[in-house]
Amino acid sequence: MGKRETINVELPDDPKIRAFVDGLLSTNESLRDRVRELERMVFGPKSEKGLTTFDVTQQGLLPFVEFLEARRRLEENSASDPDTVLVPAHKRKKHGRRAEFPEYLPRHRTEHLLSAAARQCCAQDMRRIGFEESNELERIEYCYVRVNAREKCICDECGSMRMAEGPERIFDRCLLGTNFVANLIYERFSNHVPYARFEKKLKDEGLALSRSVICESVLRAADLLEPVHNALRTHVLAAELVQSDDTEILQRNGNKKGRKKVCFWVYRSDGRGAFFELTDKRSRDGPASVLAEFNGLLQTDGHKCFKTLHDGITCVGCWAHARRKYVAAIKGGDKLAEEGYELIQKVFMVERELSGLGDSAEDREERRRVRQELSKPLIDELGEWIQVHKLSPPRGAKSLFMKAITYTNNQWEPLTRFLDDGRITDITNNASERGLRGPVVGRKNWLFFGNEEGARRSAILLSLVQTCRELGINAKLYIADVLRRLSTTQSSEIETLLPSRWNELYADAAHAAYARELAEVGQAAAPVA
């Protein structure tokens, strides 16, 4: 952008001319900030790390014993020997052993023997005392054909014939097995592989499977899984705190001309999962219809579509969004924003100290007590600082600095609600943004939804895959097992197929069945000696 130049020009005393010039200057300042922000988005780092302008040697950082002790050690070290640095002790998380693989994976043992010459020592054969074992993880991807042979018997007397029952398929007259369909869903909605690319991959393996068969199988599976998605929706909205965010995805009009952008919403709760909803536009109608029966805390980015919901909903703000605006101002060259940014960073440091607390009544009360003792003074100081700059703006109203001040001031009540409510375990809405990462990556790969029905069914499958990811569940194994169980599960028992309940009730059996199937297929595929 270059260095700014200041030109002193005498203006006439006409108030209209002065107001017009002031407006032009304000607009120019806003455009300069916007250009710098766009340049940073394209060419600069996107992380907010490395912006901290304070360290543990500052006075009045936080009243934590660890920080005070670190400061004392640093001061003693610098006074005793300026050429050495004393690093304070720190804790590290214990990591699991790398060689421990899941028990359900089949093991193939290969013995490597000494040659006859190598076994000779002292004119005799050496005696075997055992094996030194080491594990390495291998992967072989291949398709196989399951041949279902149904026994047929006939009566020699009357000529009547009977045939054994075959395996129950997820839907009639389908070329694809349950595991294959589950793998399709996983590749499409977790790895975001377009159908055309998956079709080409199968063709490279020698399988001429048309794209229409692939697409139709996935859509039919979504129809079967819709009751589970509806139960997941109810399960998430039964939580005390729900987080929400949205993004836009392109939707075509099927084979007809025309396309439009639809709003893709995520609603999630810790430990329960996430589900997605679609609306034609970003307005109040979307959250209002979904949250009509919800009563509790709703954490969002503060968009106006969340502000006019019913009285049973209490809005909670996102400090990551507030901090992000100060970061933009600092990267735009505004040093004045550093003071507000530092205060917000100190609040985040308090939250890091509380990250080990759970969600029990005692933990909630402890979280509230610590926030009142440590975070409230920082928030009060930030509030006073904001009011000073709001009453006497040092920058134009459209500058990045004043946008940060305005956002924080307008969202002050939702942002400060965490001080008095220990149920709020996270002061940011970042988990919702991470939940939308899948659809955002997907729209760059498969570009658009084909039609409205395809978009609705995609939301069903994305919801289940995202919930499995958040709960640490194998999505392919879960979807395959649930598709098999749906035909024998009563509608009143659909909740048992939710990812969280399935993990408790059926996960071990599903892993064992998967291990047996791998072993059977491996033996069938082994070459004959």
Q: What is the DSSP string of 69-122?
A: HHHHHHHHHHHH-TT--PPPP---PPPPPTT---TTS-------PPPTTTTEET
| Residue corresponding to tokens 């026994």 | 151
Binned at pLDDT 50, 70 and 90, residue 108 comes out as confident
Cα distance between residue 184 and residue 186, in whole Å: 5
DSSP string, 355-417: TT--SSHHHHHHHHHHIIIIIHHHHHHHHHHHHHHHHS-SS-TTSHHHHHHHHHHHTHHHHHG
Q: Kindly report which listed range (83-87, 321-325, 346-350, 364-368) carries the lowest average pLDDT score.
A: 83-87
Q: How far apart are CA 27 and CA 21, in angstroms?
A: 10
Q: Is 244 exposed, middle or buried (0-12, 13-18, 19+ CB in 10 A)?
A: buried
Q: Is the pLDDT of residue 60 over 50?
A: no
Q: Which residue has the higher pLDDT, 171 or 80?
A: 171
- The tens digit of pLDDT for each residue in 422-473 reads 999 999 999 999 999 988 998 888 888 888 898 999 999 999 999 999 999 9
Model pLDDT, residue 20: 78
pLDDT of residue 81: 56
First-to-last C-alpha distance (Å) of the chain: 74
Is pLDDT above 90 for 499? Answer: yes
Residue 17 has pLDDT above 90, yes or no: no
> Mean pLDDT throughout 253-271?
88
Distance CA 268, CA 62 (A): 33
pLDDT value for 56: 42
Percentage of the chain beyond pLDDT 90 is 42
**Integer Cα distance of 221 and 479 in angstroms:** 9
Q: 21: which DSSP letter?
A: H
Domain ranges of the chain: 319-428
State the average pLDDT for the chain. 83
pLDDT tops 60 at residue 244: yes
Task: Find the mean pLDDT for residues 98-113.
Answer: 78
SS3 content of the chain, % helix, strand, coil (to 5): 50, 10, 40
Q: Is the pLDDT of residue 398 over 70?
A: yes
What's the average model confidence in pLDDT over 212-229? 92
CB-CB contact of 424 with 417 (8 Å): yes
Q: Report, as an integer, the average pLDDT of 103-109.
A: 78
Mean pLDDT throughout 408-432?
93
Residues in CB range of 347: below 8 A, 6 or more apart: 319, 375, 378, 379, 427
Label the pairing between strands 313-316 and 296-299. Answer: parallel
Question: Burial, 497: exposed, middle or buried (Cβ in 10 Å; 0-12, 13-18, 19+)?
Answer: buried
What band does 529 get if pLDDT is binned at 50, 70 and 90?
A: very low
Q: What is the model's pLDDT at position 457?
A: 93
Whether 288 and 267 have beta carbons less than 8 Å apart is answered as no
Question: How many whole angstroms separate alpha carbon 398 and alpha carbon 22?
Answer: 12
| pTM as predicted | 0.78
Question: Which residues, listed in sequence order, are joined to residue 161 by a DSSP beta bridge?
Answer: 154
- Of the listed ranges 63-67, 220-224, 232-236, 472-476, the least confidently predicted one is 63-67
Contacts of 174 (CB under 8 A, 6+ apart): 181, 217, 220
Handedness of CA 505, 507, 512, 513 (dihedral sign): positive
**Are the CB atoms for 73 and 88 separated by under 8 Å?**
yes
**With 70 as the cut, is the pLDDT of residue 117 above it?**
yes
Rounded to whole angstroms, how far apart are CA atoms 374 and 420?
Answer: 13
Q: What SS3 class is residue 143?
A: coil
Residue-level pLDDT at 59? 46
